[in-house]
Each structure stands twice: as structure tokens, then as C-alpha cells.
Amino acid sequence: MVMIPRLVIAAPASGSGKTTVATGLMAAFAQRGLAVSPHKVGPDYIDPGYHSLATGRAGRNLDAYMCGPELIAPLFAHGARGCDLAIVEGVMGLYDGASGQGELASTAHVAKLLRAPVVLVVDASSQSRSVAALVHGFASWDPEVRISGVILNKVGSDRHEMLLRDALDESGVPVMGVLRRAEQVATPSRHLGLVPVAERRGDAMAAVAAMGAQVAGGCDLEALMRLARSAPGTPVAAEAWDPVAAVGPVRVGGARGGPAPLPAPSLDRGSAPDPGPRSPDGPESTPGWAASPQGVAPVVAVAGGPAFTFSYAEHSELLAAAGADVVTFDPLRDEALPEGTRGLVIGGGFPEVYAPELSANEPLRKAVADLAATGAPVAAECAGLLYLSRSLDGLPMCGVLDAEGRMSERLTLGYREAVAITDSPLAAAGTRLRGHEFHRTVLEPGAGAAPAWGMHLPERRVEGFVQQGIHASYLHTHWASAPGIARRFVEWAAG
């Protein structure tokens, strides 16, 4: 059973102050010497960066759509192992989940799966007595969701606070904090939300410190800790998720024997498709590709730095569990791939913001293209897809894919259901996964002769590129839902 004290920080709607309050609570409790485990409901990559800065621990996502409800408690337990307190920041409004799928992947859904008390953050800037009706409505909507406290945000004055408190006295939900408007805790945003921590570390540290100070001064931390400790053990048989157990037996590195890697499992938990023979574009048939020395862990390079900040912590953990030597590099600064690189993972981020710098790093662009030409496995998501293209907003990129990218005014955002169309280092053809898209760019063409995915939702289309060892797509996936991805990728890298 998971007995970690925990709180879910939710709100009636986006923009109410969840990130400020959640990050501030993390920082305030960490400042008191507690080990705080930070979590974020949904697929967002940016907020966990601020959580990590506040706590000194990896920010982790809890996404019931991509990973399935049954993995939420185990992933939570994995992240919170050894901590004194876990704080889970919600997504959108409390009851907002995957479109057309009821409560699935909503903050309320995750709170129920964790049996965690909910603290509702309310933007009180334009209301007084009406706040009681709002809180009552949210607290009574679903009796299984335990709304146990309110934090009032953007309160204008002592008089305003008195009116709000008087109204909420009738609701039965206690006020656990009051925060006044504060410019110093504002964080800059752009086309995909907050500016990531990696791009403004000094300013971000100051903002997180200000959030912690504001929350410590305006919230009853003792009452919030008592509430967190009131959370019971979860109803799920929640052995903590373990990347080694998830990956299973591997043949890489010589230390752990086992069968050949299986394809990533189907999301419907049924039988996985037969992997069949490797793609003819796999390493066995690609000139220049040779197996790594027996007993040596293949180096898998993972792009990081300000341009590539979108990654789930579990991905690197799974790669390491599958036998890889995971090494991070920064495409903005490093002119060569890590020594001995045999596989490359380029996640999401903001290449459009850093296109001039990425383009100017010609030695690294050539190194990436040369590696891809050998048939080495290359997994690229969104920003990685753009980086592999011929050009981005007219600036040369790696030229691995015969496609061109550009910024767009249209935001592409949402969950997706997908099936692998072509055998690749990530999955066998026929493998079903869930993921999400999150970008304001367009790639033309959007799919190659061998597409990566066939999308089922929200509309039917093919998307992405598979060629030689490359799997490149706009689709973000969470590998904890399909750990065979990491096993298959590392086996491919080992040759």
C-alpha cells in the first residue's frame, strides 16, 4: 500500500493559479527540510521543470490516458519512494479530461485513483460571495472526489478576504490559504505555455523562490500537512513501478540474459502483434552498421539543453534498464555526439526558437546525419522530427528527412490513438499506442513513403517517417505504457 502523505492541487479552470500554488507549496515544504515528490497530471512537460527546481527531484507526469489508469498508482509510488510528502498539480479544470471520454485523465480521475485529498485553488479576483456557490458545486459534483480545502488566489484586499471567508464559512470547506496579487511570481509565457526552466534558469530560480515565500506566508502549511497525512493507502495493489521489471529480461550488456525483445504491447492489454522479421531497413541489412562489442552497453545519446526540454523521466530510466549507457548532450553547444553513440533519442522542445543556433552548429548536424546513415536507431518526437528535416523556417537542419518545417499560427494539441504502420526500432507494425501532439509548426510533407503512425483519433491519417533506423513523428508517447519500446530500441542499438 502507498502510505505517502499527498495532496492534489486542482482548480475550477486553467489560469486560476495551480502552478503558482503547487510549485510554491513544493518549495515551501522543501525549504522546511522535507523530501517532496513532485507530480503533474496530464502530458505537460513544462510545469514539471519548475517542480523539479522547487524540490530538487525529477518532476513526473501522471497521465491516465497515455499510461492507463492501472499505472497511475505504481508510477506515483515510484516517484514518491522515500519522500515525506507528494504534491500533485492538476491539469485544466478539476473535472476536465480526455475529450469525449468522461473523467478519463482528469485531475479528479487521478485524485480518485490515488485516494488523495484535493485542495481547490480559486481565482477570487472578480467575485466575493459567489465563491461559496462555486466551491459547493465542485465539492458536490462527484462524492468520490474529496475536496478538503480551498486556497484563495489573487485576493485584492483585507476587505475582499473577509467577504470571501464569510461566504465560505457556509460551504463547509475550510480556507487553507489566501494569496494576494504578486507580480514577482509571474512567469513568462509564449506559444506553448510557460517558458521552460532550462531557458531561464536564473530567473526561474528567483520565481520559484518567490512562489515558495508567498505560499509560506499566505497558506497554513501545518493544516495542509495534516490533510496530506490523512490520505489512506491507495486501493490499487501499488507495488512501485520498476523500470527493470517493466523492461524484463534483456540481452544487452552481458549482465542480464533473456529472450529477444518483444514489440511494444497493445494498449488494449491483449496479445501483442508478432514482431516477425526485422524491417529490411534494420541494422542487419544496412551497410556500415556493425554490432557493438559483446558485453558492452551501447551508448544512447539523448538530446537535452534549452532546445530539447520535453522528455519524461521514465524514458531514460527504461533505456538504462534495457542495458543502455544513457548520455545527455546539448545540440546548441556540443559539436559532436557522445563518444561511441550507437542510438539517438531527440525529444520535444522549441527548435523553432533556437533554429539559428541549431543551424549554426554544422558539425553536430553532420554527425547526426552520418549516424542516421549507418542505420543506427534514431527516435525523434516533434522537435526532434523538425531537427532531422531539411530546414526549419528556411534554416538548414540535419537533412536526414526529405521534408521542410515552418512555424504556424495554428496550435495542434490533443490526445491521439495511433497504430505503428511500419516496423521500426520503436515498435513492430501493428503496435497500438496512445500519445499526444503539442506544437505550432507544420512539416511538409507530413509523412514519408513508410509512415510512422496511422492515427485513429481525432481523425484518420498517416503521419511521420520510418527509414533505415529512423522513427520520426510529431506524436509524443510515454514509454512506461509500452516498455518494450526501450528494450527494442536498445537491442537495435546493440546490433
Angle, nearest 10°, between helix axes 221-229 and 18-31?
A: 90
Of 46-50, 320-324, 367-371, 454-458, the least confident: 454-458
pLDDT tens-digit profile of 385-400?
A: 999 999 999 999 999 9
Mean pLDDT rounded to a whole number for the chain? 88
Is residue 192 within 8 A of residue 44, CB to CB? The reply is: no
Catalytic residue numbers read 382
3-class DSSP state for residue 149? Answer: strand
pLDDT tens-digit profile of 409-462?
A: 888 789 999 999 999 999 999 999 999 998 889 999 999 999 999 998 778 899
pLDDT tens-digit profile of 102-130?
A: 999 999 999 999 999 999 999 999 999 99
- HSE-up of residue 79 (Cα within 13 Å, Cβ side): 30
Is residue 281 within 8 A of residue 300, CB to CB? The reply is: no
Is residue 211 within 8 A of residue 64, CB to CB? The reply is: no
d(CA 34, CA 29): 6
Q: Which amino acid is at 477?
A: T
The residues, any chain, with a CB within 8 Å of residue 27's CB and separated by 6 or more, are: 54, 55, 208, 209, 211, 212, 215
Give pLDDT, residue 182. Answer: 74
Strand 453-457 versus strand 404-420 pairing type: antiparallel
**Terminal CA-to-CA distance of the chain, rounded, Å?**
41
The residues, any chain, with a CB within 8 Å of residue 218's CB and separated by 6 or more, are: 177, 178, 179, 180
Percentage above 70 pLDDT, the chain? 85
The residues, any chain, with a CB within 8 Å of residue 441's CB and separated by 6 or more, are: 352, 386, 392, 405, 406, 407, 408
Is residue 345 within 8 A of residue 393, CB to CB? The reply is: no
pLDDT band at 253 (very low <50, low <70, confident <90, very high): low
Grid coordinates standing for 375? 542505420
Q: Which amino acid is at 282?
A: G
Q: How many CB atoms lie within 10 A of CB 226?
A: 11
